[in-house]
Amino acid sequence: MADEQKTHQVPFAERVFTWPDENPSLIGSRCAPCGALAFPAQDGCPRCGQEGMERYLLPRRGRLYSWTSQGFLPKEPYAGGETAENFRPFGVGLVELEGGIRVEGRLTEADSDQLAFDMEMELVVIPFRVDPSHDAGPNTEVMVYAFQPAQT
């Protein structure tokens, strides 16, 4: 019975970011022949078509390239468990990491006035929703990657 009360944390998808990890990284891939980066990781190179890309941990920091605010309740599979009554708008952004790869993700800051083009951002892992029917237990917290303004 005590185990049912324990909260478990699991990533929203396998092999997307390192988890658990105090300093999480997104898991991408790199093409050895041409140096192209891809996220999420894939087998074939999007630039030269070479097969067998290698696993590559992307940098944790980047620059805010573009953003918007999600002002309405998203539908599945993007829903985070909110209802119309408790939904709060959240930021979504495109962050350019070193190497020129751009990654879309949630932002921890929803107020557009607090964001700026080229602002330094850093990767974090945050709670997304609670999954009452997960194999790990009824209080399983599903974690997702996001970007927050970088701490100096």
pLDDT, tens digit, 9 for 90 and up, residues 19-57: 899 999 999 999 999 999 999 999 999 999 999 999 999
- Using an 8 Å Cβ cutoff, are 62 and 50 in contact? no
Per the DSSP assignment, residues forming a β-bridge with 30 are: 37, 54
Burial of 26-62, coded b for 16+ CB within 10 Å and e otherwise, reads bbbbbbeeeebbbbebeeebeeeeeeebeebebebeb
In one-letter notation, the amino acid at residue 135 is D
User: pLDDT for 64-120, tens place per residue?
Assistant: 999 999 999 988 767 788 888 988 999 999 999 988 999 999 999 999 999 999 999
**Quick one: CA dihedral 11, 13, 15, 17, positive or negative?**
negative
Report the distance separating Cα 55 and Cα 30, nearest Å: 6
Mean of the pLDDT values across residues 136-152? 89
